[in-house]
A = this chain, B = another copy of it.
């Protein structure tokens, strides 16, 4: 493994476990067994390192979400695929997902929070677009794409958070239950 990758991985581990601000560059260097100028050579500065992390793991994230959100006429199937995509990502990249959750409602003026905003917006937009297209087939849903996208993400990420705290399994049954609730409400 090359140094650059090892720095990314160690930094991700530390940031996801303790937060971007609480972990200093020196600690990351010690974990990655390199010195500070090496880190600065590759990433320019601390925020550059975070940007590199968000890009490195974000590519797979964005791709899986946007592919899963493609609507071809079957909304339950698409939503099922989408929930599954998020769950897979939580299982494949737990640390990255955890970092993303930590920054989801980050303070408005925080460096890390501002840096991740474009990524979060992309995710939201993919899902909102899905509901917008689905509204063509479901008249009742018209004009609600935004509210449903917000709700969907709120739901999925709440469960992802609980999974990442080892308090649940993200299995097919849970997927079914979440979607059932989302689509049909609490009385059915």
Contact = CB atoms under 8 A, between A and B. Distances in A.
Nearest to A79: B186
A184 to B, nearest CB: 4
A105 B107 contact: no
B107 A186 contact: no
Given A154-B155, A155-B151, A188-B140, A165 B108 contact: yes
> How many copies of the shown chain assemble into the complex?
2
Interface stretch (A2-10, A17-25, A28-36, A55-63): A17-25
Contact of A22 (B18, B105, B110, B138): B110
Contact of A107 (B16, B140, B159): B16
Given A18-B107, A105-B101, A187-B184, A158 B154 contact: yes
Nearest to A162: B150
Interface in A117-160: 138, 140-141, 144, 147-148, 150-151, 153-155, 157-159
Given A151-B155, A154-B158, A107 B181 contact: no
A107 B19 contact: yes
A87 interface: no
A36 B107 CA distance: 24
> Which among A140, A153, A157, A181 has the greatest number of chain B C-beta atoms within 10 A?
A181
B18 A110 contact: yes
13 contacts: A16-B107, A17-B107, A19-B113, A22-B110, A98-B107, A102-B107, A140-B188, A141-B187, A147-B181, A151-B155, A151-B178, A154-B154, A182-B185
